[in-house]
Amino acid sequence: MPLSAVKPEQYETLLKEKTAQAAALLAPFSPPTPEIFRSLPTGYRMRAEFRMWHDGDQLDYVMYRREAPGKPIPISEFPIANASIVSLMPKLVERLKTNMDLRRKLFQLEFLSTLAGETLITLVYHRKLDANWQSEARQLARDLQVQIIGRSRKQKLVLERDYVTEILPVAGRSYRYRQYEQAFTQPNALVNIQMIEWACDKVASLGGDLLELYCGNGNFTLPLSRHFNQVIATELSKASIKAARENQLENTIDNIQLIRLSAEEVSQALAGERQFRRLAALPKPLNDYDLRAVFVDPPRAGLDAPTEQMVAAFDAIIYISCNPETLAKNLLSICKTHRIDSFGLFDQFPYTHHMECGVLLRRR
């Protein structure tokens, strides 16, 4: 997204256009009027990534436009980033400019910040990092009160830890999340809170047990667990399932069973087509759970055909989508057996065409 598109004075107009487009995609399925969840017009993004441009003594954060990928655009202000990142950017670049151990062959820089006030900075290099780099980076981390990681080809140096801790207030409770460097996290934390609260509100009356696919680091899993007897949460990524288990322990929640399985493998297990040793960790067989509802938050490609068929066997489906087009494609099949009871639109990415959607579907 070019920064020239960031026009806070036009935020409401742009949001109206996006919500109309997303609603039109789902109109054939007769959803109710969507609930609209706004972002802050500025200061909303918890992650930022820049290339670093060296020109003599000068060092700049730069980005590139798609139509001119070879022309760097210096970034002196980044209004979409949260306050911690905005505050750190000038302090950090001034320190890097004058320190050759930190500056030499630095080509990329990444920020990961939290509402809880922690920030992790990754410095990426075209050279091997040595003891001098580590010494200078440790001092920089102490001075800026941040976590720092150094990366180069086949090298990752973690000075203290490779994660930050986020604390999200959800429906009167606070949840702690360990967010690892270069792992997926929701980029707009305040809108993420609204998404979680919307989902919790919609499932509050469902009862029974919940099956969750694509659980990631437990972003939805932890708060949703309050509303079910048991939650079976699945995720294929080793890094994400590791974080989810740590987050479950950190929040002392005991009714979640986290299993590393893909959506396809879950479908095969429920259908009795395959047995998985990983499911032996469950206190009882998978099919003995009272699974009345399924929660899915798939990648942009949406659900594949076997997963569509599997979720359609549930009385209630909560579907969070980062791509309204693939959601509409999945609904062509799912809405043969289910109707949309609730519809939410969440502006995770202001000033872009992207719109996050949530639907609660119930069996007809």
Active site members? 322, 356
Q: How far apart are the C-alpha atoms of 160 and 44, rounded to whole Å?
A: 27
Phi then psi for residue 280, to 5 deg, are: -65, -15
Contacts of 101 (CB under 8 A, 6+ apart): 132, 133, 135, 136
Q: Where are the beta strands (DSSP E) in the chain?
A: 35-37, 47-55, 58-65, 68-74, 106-113, 119-125, 147-152, 155-158, 163-170, 173-180, 209-213, 231-234, 256-259, 291-296, 316-321, 338-346, 356-363
Q: Report angle CA 162, 231, 287 to the nearest 5 degrees.
A: 130
Token pair, residue 68, equals 């001119």
Q: Helix 11-26 and helix 324-334: axis angle, to 10°?
A: 20
Give the number of other Cβ atoms within 10 Å of residue 131's Cβ.
8
CA 133 to chain CA centroid, nearest Å:
31
Query: Could you tell me if 343 and 14 are in contact, meaning their C-beta atoms sit under 8 angstroms apart?
Result: no
**b vs e for 88-104, b when ≥16 Cβ sit within 10 Å of the residue's Cβ?**
bbeebbebbeeeeebbe
| C-alpha dihedral sign at 209, 247, 343, 260 | negative
Contacts of 117 (CB under 8 A, 6+ apart): 84
Query: Could you tell me if 186 and 219 are in contact, meaning their C-beta atoms sit under 8 angstroms apart?
Result: yes
From residue 18, how far is each of 13, 14, 43, 292 by CA, in Å? 9, 6, 20, 33
User: Is residue 28 packed enough to be buried (19+ CB in 10 Å), middle (13-18) or exposed (0-12)?
Assistant: exposed
